[in-house]
Amino acid sequence: MTTRGGTPARKPARKAARKSARKSVRKAGARDKAPLSHVGARGAARMVDVGAKAATVRIARAGGEIRMTRAAWLAVRNNTAKKGDVLGVARLAGIQAAKRTAELIPLCHPLQLTHVDVALALVAKPPTIRVEATVATVAPTGVEMEALTAVSVALLTVYDMVKSADKRMRIGAVRLLEKSGGRSGHFRAR
């Protein structure tokens, strides 16, 4: 079937089905999405005003990993990497990163942190270093970004210190593992 212009006409049933599907997706999306608090009425990014929110104890835990060759992993484990104590430097870099998150992520609030812990663990098979960061504060906003930043920078520091032994290392699985405090309550990743 063609139209007068020679182009094929769409079958009415198929067109109606697509229209209905698009409408369903839009409705589901509107129902599932909470409004983004960092987007103003005109769509511009903005820093959220948390001045009226109560300060509560807030804790976040994040994790990630870096996979590498066995030789690179052994250099870290045996503390023979050319740049020195990989795990110690990465731990300190993660702590420093948590404290400077607001300088790195434009819309994060500067927070006074009450606790930062960055732990690195060697896993033999496959040769991996896992990083976990726990960050705490008493504030009107959460510390998820601080925990994620601590993990990310610790992993990047491992990469920097071991890249001469393995340029193909893979950083991955960076995610929020758990958070507590605030209006949204407790969250734990599965």
Residue positions annotated with a catalytic role: 160
Helix pair 70-77, 144-162: axis angle to 10 deg:
100
Inter-residue contact 67 to 127 (CB < 8 Å): yes
Only one residue has tokens 């509107």, namely 30
Only one residue has tokens 């409705």, namely 27
